[in-house]
Structure 1
Amino acid sequence: MSAAEAARFAVRIGVRSYEMDVNGHVNHAVYHQYAEHARMEHVREAGLSQAALGEHGLTIVLLSTTVHFRAELRAGELVEVDSELEFTGRKPFTMRHRIVRVTDGDGSPAEDLAAEAECTLGVLDVASRRLVADPHARLTAAASDPALLGPGPA
Protein backbone atom coordinates (compact mmCIF):
# COMPACT_ATOMS: atom_id res chain seq x y z
CA MET A 1 0.00 0.00 0.00
CA SER A 2 1.38 3.41 -0.95
CA ALA A 3 1.52 6.28 1.51
CA ALA A 4 -1.17 8.11 -0.48
CA GLU A 5 -3.51 5.10 -0.21
CA ALA A 6 -2.83 4.83 3.53
CA ALA A 7 -3.88 8.47 3.93
CA ARG A 8 -7.37 7.77 2.58
CA PHE A 9 -10.09 7.32 5.14
CA ALA A 10 -13.88 6.89 4.90
CA VAL A 11 -16.93 6.83 7.15
CA ARG A 12 -20.55 5.92 6.39
CA ILE A 13 -23.46 8.09 7.46
CA GLY A 14 -27.17 7.44 7.24
CA VAL A 15 -29.12 10.41 5.90
CA ARG A 16 -31.65 11.40 8.57
CA SER A 17 -35.10 12.84 7.98
CA TYR A 18 -34.44 15.97 10.04
CA GLU A 19 -31.60 16.93 7.66
CA MET A 20 -34.05 17.67 4.82
CA ASP A 21 -34.86 21.13 3.59
CA VAL A 22 -38.21 22.39 2.27
CA ASN A 23 -37.46 20.78 -1.12
CA GLY A 24 -37.19 17.31 0.40
CA HIS A 25 -33.44 16.87 0.01
CA VAL A 26 -30.49 17.32 2.35
CA ASN A 27 -29.97 20.91 3.41
CA HIS A 28 -26.79 22.46 2.02
CA ALA A 29 -25.27 23.01 5.47
CA VAL A 30 -25.51 19.30 6.26
CA TYR A 31 -22.96 18.49 3.54
CA HIS A 32 -20.49 20.61 5.53
CA GLN A 33 -21.40 18.60 8.65
CA TYR A 34 -20.80 15.31 6.84
CA ALA A 35 -17.35 16.54 5.80
CA GLU A 36 -16.64 17.74 9.35
CA HIS A 37 -17.62 14.33 10.74
CA ALA A 38 -15.29 12.54 8.32
CA ARG A 39 -12.51 15.02 9.07
CA MET A 40 -12.78 14.55 12.83
CA GLU A 41 -13.00 10.75 12.54
CA HIS A 42 -9.96 10.71 10.25
CA VAL A 43 -7.74 12.62 12.68
CA ARG A 44 -9.16 10.72 15.67
CA GLU A 45 -8.34 7.40 13.98
CA ALA A 46 -4.79 8.67 13.44
CA GLY A 47 -4.59 9.12 17.22
CA LEU A 48 -5.09 12.86 17.20
CA SER A 49 -7.93 13.31 19.65
CA GLN A 50 -8.30 16.77 21.13
CA ALA A 51 -6.64 15.45 24.31
CA ALA A 52 -3.68 13.99 22.37
CA LEU A 53 -3.22 17.23 20.45
CA GLY A 54 -3.49 19.19 23.70
CA GLU A 55 -0.63 17.18 25.20
CA HIS A 56 1.52 18.62 22.40
CA GLY A 57 0.12 22.14 22.81
CA LEU A 58 -1.68 21.94 19.47
CA THR A 59 -5.14 22.02 17.95
CA ILE A 60 -6.38 21.79 14.36
CA VAL A 61 -8.34 24.76 13.04
CA LEU A 62 -10.56 25.08 9.98
CA LEU A 63 -9.58 28.08 7.86
CA SER A 64 -12.00 27.68 4.96
CA THR A 65 -14.32 25.16 3.39
CA THR A 66 -16.03 24.89 0.02
CA VAL A 67 -18.63 22.35 -1.10
CA HIS A 68 -19.54 21.60 -4.70
CA PHE A 69 -22.95 19.95 -4.93
CA ARG A 70 -23.35 17.22 -7.55
CA ALA A 71 -26.54 15.29 -6.68
CA GLU A 72 -29.40 15.52 -4.21
CA LEU A 73 -29.47 13.29 -1.16
CA ARG A 74 -32.70 12.17 0.51
CA ALA A 75 -33.72 10.66 3.83
CA GLY A 76 -32.98 6.98 4.25
CA GLU A 77 -30.01 6.92 1.92
CA LEU A 78 -26.54 5.85 3.03
CA VAL A 79 -23.50 7.90 2.11
CA GLU A 80 -19.79 7.29 2.36
CA VAL A 81 -17.60 10.29 3.05
CA ASP A 82 -13.94 9.80 2.30
CA SER A 83 -11.09 12.10 3.17
CA GLU A 84 -7.59 12.64 1.94
CA LEU A 85 -4.92 14.95 3.30
CA GLU A 86 -2.45 16.99 1.29
CA PHE A 87 0.48 18.83 2.82
CA THR A 88 2.70 21.37 1.07
CA GLY A 89 5.58 23.48 2.32
CA ARG A 90 3.10 26.06 3.62
CA LYS A 91 1.48 26.30 7.04
CA PRO A 92 -2.07 25.58 5.80
CA PHE A 93 -2.87 22.10 4.52
CA THR A 94 -5.81 20.64 2.63
CA MET A 95 -8.31 17.88 3.30
CA ARG A 96 -10.60 16.84 0.47
CA HIS A 97 -13.81 14.86 0.86
CA ARG A 98 -16.09 13.05 -1.56
CA ILE A 99 -19.64 12.39 -0.39
CA VAL A 100 -20.94 9.37 -2.32
CA ARG A 101 -24.41 7.81 -2.12
CA VAL A 102 -23.90 4.05 -1.55
CA THR A 103 -27.56 3.03 -1.15
CA ASP A 104 -30.74 4.77 -2.13
CA GLY A 105 -33.77 5.21 0.13
CA ASP A 106 -35.01 1.63 -0.29
CA GLY A 107 -31.56 0.13 0.37
CA SER A 108 -30.71 -0.60 -3.26
CA PRO A 109 -27.02 -0.21 -4.10
CA ALA A 110 -26.01 3.07 -5.67
CA GLU A 111 -22.80 4.89 -6.40
CA ASP A 112 -23.44 8.53 -7.11
CA LEU A 113 -21.14 11.41 -6.28
CA ALA A 114 -23.33 13.78 -4.25
CA ALA A 115 -20.76 16.42 -3.31
CA GLU A 116 -17.10 17.29 -3.06
CA ALA A 117 -15.73 19.35 -0.20
CA GLU A 118 -12.35 20.98 0.14
CA CYS A 119 -11.14 22.30 3.48
CA THR A 120 -8.11 24.39 4.28
CA LEU A 121 -6.81 23.67 7.77
CA GLY A 122 -3.93 24.67 9.99
CA VAL A 123 -2.25 23.40 13.12
CA LEU A 124 -2.42 26.03 15.82
CA ASP A 125 0.06 26.36 18.67
CA VAL A 126 -2.39 26.99 21.52
CA ALA A 127 0.11 29.06 23.57
CA SER A 128 1.16 31.48 20.80
CA ARG A 129 -2.18 31.31 18.92
CA ARG A 130 -0.20 31.05 15.66
CA LEU A 131 -0.14 28.43 12.93
CA VAL A 132 2.89 26.17 13.16
CA ALA A 133 5.38 25.59 10.38
CA ASP A 134 5.54 22.04 9.01
CA PRO A 135 2.12 20.88 10.22
CA HIS A 136 2.72 17.36 8.86
CA ALA A 137 5.78 16.86 11.07
CA ARG A 138 3.99 18.26 14.13
CA LEU A 139 0.93 16.05 13.58
CA THR A 140 2.90 12.88 12.86
CA ALA A 141 4.92 13.45 16.06
CA ALA A 142 1.66 13.53 18.03
CA ALA A 143 -0.18 10.74 16.16
CA SER A 144 -0.39 7.10 17.23
CA ASP A 145 -1.04 6.06 13.60
CA PRO A 146 0.84 8.62 11.48
CA ALA A 147 0.37 6.57 8.28
CA LEU A 148 -3.21 7.89 8.20
CA LEU A 149 -1.79 11.39 7.70
CA GLY A 150 -0.17 10.43 4.43
CA PRO A 151 3.09 11.71 3.01
CA GLY A 152 4.48 15.04 3.98
CA PRO A 153 5.24 17.86 1.59
CA ALA A 154 6.71 16.76 -1.74
Structure 2
Amino acid sequence: MADVFQVRIGVRGYELDVQGHVNQAVYIQYGEHARWRCFHAAGINTAVLMAAGFGPVVLETNVRYLKELRDGDEVDVTCQFHWGDGKTFRVEQDYTRADGAPVARLTSVCGLLDRETRRLLADPPARLREIVADPAMLGL
Protein backbone atom coordinates (compact mmCIF):
# COMPACT_ATOMS: atom_id res chain seq x y z
CA MET A 1 0.00 0.00 0.00
CA ALA A 2 1.20 3.53 -0.76
CA ASP A 3 1.89 6.10 1.90
CA VAL A 4 -1.17 7.97 3.18
CA PHE A 5 -2.20 10.68 0.71
CA GLN A 6 -1.84 14.23 2.03
CA VAL A 7 -2.55 17.73 0.71
CA ARG A 8 -1.65 21.09 2.28
CA ILE A 9 -4.31 23.78 2.40
CA GLY A 10 -3.80 27.41 3.39
CA VAL A 11 -6.53 28.99 5.50
CA ARG A 12 -8.15 31.96 3.77
CA GLY A 13 -9.63 34.93 5.60
CA TYR A 14 -13.12 34.46 4.18
CA GLU A 15 -13.28 30.98 5.76
CA LEU A 16 -13.28 32.40 9.30
CA ASP A 17 -16.26 32.76 11.60
CA VAL A 18 -16.89 35.52 14.16
CA GLN A 19 -14.63 33.71 16.65
CA GLY A 20 -11.68 34.23 14.30
CA HIS A 21 -11.20 30.54 13.55
CA VAL A 22 -12.12 28.41 10.55
CA ASN A 23 -15.87 27.89 10.30
CA GLN A 24 -16.96 24.33 11.04
CA ALA A 25 -18.43 23.78 7.57
CA VAL A 26 -15.08 24.60 5.96
CA TYR A 27 -13.51 21.53 7.59
CA ILE A 28 -15.89 19.41 5.53
CA GLN A 29 -14.90 21.34 2.40
CA TYR A 30 -11.22 20.73 3.17
CA GLY A 31 -11.96 17.01 3.49
CA GLU A 32 -13.83 16.98 0.18
CA HIS A 33 -10.96 18.83 -1.50
CA ALA A 34 -8.44 16.29 -0.18
CA ARG A 35 -10.58 13.33 -1.32
CA TRP A 36 -10.87 14.75 -4.84
CA ARG A 37 -7.13 15.47 -4.98
CA CYS A 38 -6.54 11.86 -3.92
CA PHE A 39 -8.87 10.61 -6.65
CA HIS A 40 -7.03 12.79 -9.19
CA ALA A 41 -3.67 11.42 -8.01
CA ALA A 42 -5.08 7.92 -8.56
CA GLY A 43 -6.09 8.85 -12.12
CA ILE A 44 -9.81 9.36 -11.53
CA ASN A 45 -11.51 12.62 -12.46
CA THR A 46 -15.08 13.61 -13.25
CA ALA A 47 -14.72 12.65 -16.94
CA VAL A 48 -13.59 9.14 -15.96
CA LEU A 49 -16.47 8.84 -13.51
CA MET A 50 -19.03 10.12 -16.04
CA ALA A 51 -17.84 7.53 -18.56
CA ALA A 52 -18.06 4.79 -15.90
CA GLY A 53 -21.62 5.81 -14.99
CA PHE A 54 -21.04 6.15 -11.25
CA GLY A 55 -19.54 8.48 -8.69
CA PRO A 56 -18.63 8.70 -5.02
CA VAL A 57 -21.23 9.86 -2.50
CA VAL A 58 -20.88 10.73 1.16
CA LEU A 59 -23.54 9.13 3.35
CA GLU A 60 -22.36 10.23 6.78
CA THR A 61 -19.65 12.54 8.15
CA ASN A 62 -18.31 13.02 11.64
CA VAL A 63 -15.83 15.76 12.56
CA ARG A 64 -13.89 15.76 15.82
CA TYR A 65 -12.34 19.18 16.45
CA LEU A 66 -9.11 19.23 18.47
CA LYS A 67 -7.54 22.69 17.99
CA GLU A 68 -8.35 25.92 16.19
CA LEU A 69 -7.28 26.83 12.70
CA ARG A 70 -6.83 30.58 12.25
CA ASP A 71 -6.10 33.03 9.46
CA GLY A 72 -2.73 32.33 7.86
CA ASP A 73 -2.44 28.77 9.19
CA GLU A 74 -1.65 25.91 6.86
CA VAL A 75 -3.15 22.49 7.42
CA ASP A 76 -2.20 19.07 6.06
CA VAL A 77 -5.25 16.92 5.34
CA THR A 78 -4.75 13.18 4.83
CA CYS A 79 -6.99 10.76 3.03
CA GLN A 80 -7.06 7.06 3.87
CA PHE A 81 -9.63 4.59 2.52
CA HIS A 82 -10.86 1.57 4.48
CA TRP A 83 -12.65 -1.04 2.38
CA GLY A 84 -15.13 -3.61 3.64
CA ASP A 85 -17.38 -6.24 2.08
CA GLY A 86 -20.58 -4.22 1.63
CA LYS A 87 -21.75 -1.31 -0.47
CA THR A 88 -20.05 1.29 1.71
CA PHE A 89 -16.51 2.18 2.70
CA ARG A 90 -14.93 4.50 5.24
CA VAL A 91 -12.59 7.43 4.63
CA GLU A 92 -10.53 8.73 7.54
CA GLN A 93 -8.90 12.13 7.31
CA ASP A 94 -6.52 13.69 9.82
CA TYR A 95 -5.97 17.44 9.87
CA THR A 96 -2.58 18.57 11.18
CA ARG A 97 -1.37 22.15 11.36
CA ALA A 98 1.97 22.83 9.64
CA ASP A 99 3.56 23.15 13.11
CA GLY A 100 2.58 19.52 13.81
CA ALA A 101 -0.44 20.19 16.04
CA PRO A 102 -3.36 17.81 15.43
CA VAL A 103 -6.39 19.92 14.51
CA ALA A 104 -9.28 17.59 13.62
CA ARG A 105 -10.30 14.15 12.42
CA LEU A 106 -13.01 13.66 9.83
CA THR A 107 -14.53 10.23 9.29
CA SER A 108 -16.95 9.61 6.44
CA VAL A 109 -19.04 6.67 5.30
CA CYS A 110 -19.16 6.67 1.52
CA GLY A 111 -20.41 4.63 -1.40
CA LEU A 112 -20.49 4.61 -5.18
CA LEU A 113 -23.76 5.77 -6.70
CA ASP A 114 -24.95 4.40 -10.03
CA ARG A 115 -25.93 7.57 -11.91
CA GLU A 116 -28.76 5.88 -13.80
CA THR A 117 -30.46 3.76 -11.11
CA ARG A 118 -29.56 6.16 -8.24
CA ARG A 119 -28.60 3.14 -6.12
CA LEU A 120 -25.39 2.25 -4.35
CA LEU A 121 -23.20 -0.18 -6.23
CA ALA A 122 -22.09 -3.45 -4.68
CA ASP A 123 -18.35 -4.04 -4.21
CA PRO A 124 -17.00 -0.48 -4.55
CA PRO A 125 -13.33 -1.58 -4.49
CA ALA A 126 -13.86 -3.84 -7.52
CA ARG A 127 -15.68 -1.08 -9.41
CA LEU A 128 -12.92 1.43 -8.71
CA ARG A 129 -10.20 -1.05 -9.73
CA GLU A 130 -11.84 -1.09 -13.19
CA ILE A 131 -11.18 2.63 -13.73
CA VAL A 132 -8.27 3.63 -11.47
CA ALA A 133 -4.77 4.21 -12.87
CA ASP A 134 -2.96 3.91 -9.51
CA PRO A 135 -4.90 1.60 -7.14
CA ALA A 136 -2.40 2.06 -4.31
CA MET A 137 -3.46 5.72 -3.95
CA LEU A 138 -6.87 4.45 -2.79
CA GLY A 139 -5.52 1.55 -0.75
CA LEU A 140 -6.78 -0.97 -3.32
When the two structures are superposed, what TM-score results if normalisation uses the length of structure 1? 0.87
Q: How does 1:64-143 map to 2 (within 5 A)?
A: 64-102=60-98, 110-143=99-132
Root mean square deviation of aligned Cα? 1.0
- Partner residue, 2:35: 39
Percent identical among aligned pairs is: 44
Q: Which structure has the greater CA radius of gyration?
A: 1
Q: Which of these residues, 19, 38, 47, is aligned with residue 15 of structure 2?
A: 19
Q: Which runs of 4+ in 1 moved over 3 A?
A: none
- Report if aligned partners of 1:7, 1:85 keep a CA contact under 8 Å in 2: no
* C-alpha displacement of 1:94: 0.7
Unaligned segments of structure 1, at least 5 residues: 103-109
When the two structures are superposed, what TM-score results if normalisation uses the length of structure 2? 0.96
Unaligned segments of structure 2, at least 5 residues: none
Query: In structure 2, how many angstroms separate the alpha carbons of the residues matched to 1:7 and 1:133?
Result: 27
Query: In structure 2, how many angstroms separate the alpha carbons of the residues matched to 1:143 and 1:29?
Result: 30
Query: Structure 1 residues 135 and 7, CA, compared in 2 at 3 Å: closer, same or farther?
Result: farther
SS at match of 2:101: strand
SS at match of 1:142: coil
